Amino acid sequence: MANKTIFYTLVLSGLSDFPSLQLPLFLVFLLVYLMTLTGNLLIVLLICTDSHLQTPMYFFLGTLACLDMGYSSVTIPRMLYDFHAQKRLISIQACITQIFFFVLFAMSEISLLAVMSYDRYVAICRPLHYTKIMHWKACVLLVLGVFTICMAHSLVHVLLLLKLTFCSLNPIQSFFCDLPQLLLVSCSDTSINVLLILILAIIPGGGIFVLTFCPYIIILKTLYEKHVKCMRSTPSPCSSPLDVVFIFM
């Protein structure tokens, strides 16, 4: 380490080095970003103003919209700035901060989808107990629990990144501070960081995947049984539960 120069700023490769593409790409991603913010803000505004939409399902949907705005705002504004920058430099502190919020919002979004699938499971498979199980206090606690766990998840990565040193002139091959790409430009031993990425991707990631899709399998089975019973009695109401599945899938 004595013969290596430690760097405190890093270089992002960006999306393109061709000057002719900088303005078109800037306009495209600016439009996408504005559409994302506008769409999600309209969802939140509609849920807050319409009393008919103030239910647990739409509460989770509004929270998801807020997370999506945060997720987009972590990366796109920086990318838009870099389209007009001569050198795409970013400090290590800013890079690690970006990773913290990127992982936080990404994991929170994925985890909230699992919570929403559980909400649909209770609503369809246990409708008589829905109001008792999914009351407002439980919904708020579920969201806070998801956010707290995901914050701890992101903080673990950040604490390990703070112990690394960076002495490579190679740019980060991305338009934002991507965690795996950041490890490639470190001159420290990153084996623990890589192991942690694998462990946290397999165990929590696999758990979230199961918790998200298993309730929908049970929902499909329940609706199929209700559909069969409906067909044997009165066919007309049978399409209603199936429509619900297609909407929430």
Where are the domains positioned within the chain? 10-248
Per the model's pLDDT, the better-predicted residue between 14 and 158 turns out to be 158
On whether the CB atoms of residues 88 and 82 are closer than 8 A, the answer is: yes
The pLDDT, as a whole number, for residue 230 is 55
On whether the CB atoms of residues 168 and 185 are closer than 8 A, the answer is: yes
The pLDDT, as a whole number, for residue 246 is 44
Q: pTM value?
A: 0.82
On whether the CB atoms of residues 60 and 116 are closer than 8 A, the answer is: yes
pLDDT in tens, 85-121: 777 888 888 889 999 999 999 999 999 999 998 998 8
pLDDT at 18 over 60: yes
- Lowest average pLDDT, out of 33-47, 73-87, 216-230, goes to 216-230
Q: How far apart are CA 231 and CA 225, in angstroms?
A: 10
Mean pLDDT over residues 166-185, rounded? 82
Q: At 37, which amino acid appears?
A: L
In which residue are the tokens 């739409």 written? 58
The pLDDT, as a whole number, for residue 239 is 43
CA dihedral 170, 175, 181, 183 (to 10 degrees): 80
Q: Does domain 10-248 have CATH number 1.20.1070.10?
A: yes
- Lowest average pLDDT, out of 218-222, 224-228, 233-237, goes to 233-237
pLDDT grade, residue 213 (50/70/90)? confident
On whether the CB atoms of residues 142 and 115 are closer than 8 A, the answer is: yes
Q: How far apart are CA 182 and CA 201, in angstroms?
A: 17
pLDDT at 234 over 60: no
pLDDT at 247 over 50: no
- Lowest average pLDDT, out of 37-51, 74-88, 92-106, goes to 74-88
pLDDT in tens, 144-154: 999 999 999 99
Mean pLDDT over residues 34-56, rounded? 91
Provide the 10 A C-beta neighbour count for residue 183.
19
Q: How far apart are CA 230 and CA 217, in angstroms?
A: 20
Per the model's pLDDT, the better-predicted residue between 156 and 202 turns out to be 156
The pLDDT, as a whole number, for residue 228 is 59
Q: What percent of the chain has pLDDT over 70?
A: 87
The pLDDT, as a whole number, for residue 226 is 67
Q: What percent of the chain has pLDDT over 90?
A: 33
Picking from 125, 123, 150, 128, the residue whose alpha carbon sits closest to that of residue 63 is 150
Q: What is the mean pLDDT of the chain?
A: 82
